[in-house]
Structure 1
Amino acid sequence: MNVEVLHRSGQWCAGRQFGEVVAYDVQILPRYQVAGRPTVDRSYLLLGEAVQLTKPAVFEGAVEGWWYVDLVEIEQTERGLVVHDLYVDFLIPPAVDRYQILDLDELADAVRAGKLTPSQCADVLTATQRFVDRYLRRPAEGPSGPGAEFPPGAVTALDRLPAF
């Protein structure tokens, strides 16, 4: 099913929904583009998990091929899906043997400034733990170890589709 997604850059982007995953293409803003690199990123929304995945085309050097994961709130509107960034992000290398959690300070600042409610903060912290438990913990780390591969198989399949 075709959908439109409002990206945080302000662009409405064409996409497709396949089950619980939405894939959409976003034009990289000129100030972030890197000469000789693609100018479009494909992002994936995991609808039931409040997660957006992107493998940024502008990542070079040590982080090339890494996934950038945003914890998000997804709003359904008449036009399409609106993605609200909830500040917590991950950087995940291709081998998924480690990860970095980013911007927890930005989450705290957003709550202090009234940009997020305490309830939204609680939701994003719960989603953060759920994401780690589901995708990033090793089985030897306890019973909450990964229940799913990263990136999810549906994302890997959609990554092969031509541009929307």
Structure 2
Amino acid sequence: MADPTDADVAFAADVLRNLLHRIEAANANAATGSPTGRYAFLVSHAWTDGAVLHVVYAAPPSDRNWGLARDTRRSLIDPSAWNAADDPALYYYLLDLEENWPGGAVGVPGEDPDLVRWSGDPLTTLPGRLSAIPEAHRYVAPPVDPSWIDRTPPVITQPRLYADPNGPLPPRPS
């Protein structure tokens, strides 16, 4: 792919910022038991390199380090670039993090705790160990903003009443 333009670089930085916000909001919801927060992703490092975003995280209860690399010039849902109506951060969150949630993969005794397991694309020239990632890429989560927590009560639906088509009609609710 051609060298990224200034617009590509700015777009990648914006997508990473939005993805990190989405992760922090979901983490806040997961911590409160909100139905909109299913998983926690504990980000340790995040950076962009040209048009490529990188996020290194843990997905409890897994104690392994996971990495995501994505060239933001390519859409995950279309063979072309993202269009103005798309929300790339949402798709990276849903498809790369939630759908491929690695939290069930727990390390084995003697496994290197510094190892980073990368997914996404491109996967070349990525640091294979946490200790190889520059300190400048360390991510510190902001304080939890209470406005991120979804306090909407879950929808309670009434059970459907089914009747025998050949039998008497059920009584009407009063």
TM class by smaller structure: 0.3 to 0.5
Higher relative contact order (CA 8 A, sep 6+): 2
TM norm structure 2? 0.34
Q: Which has the larger radius of gyration?
A: 2
The structure whose residues are more often strand, as a share, is 1
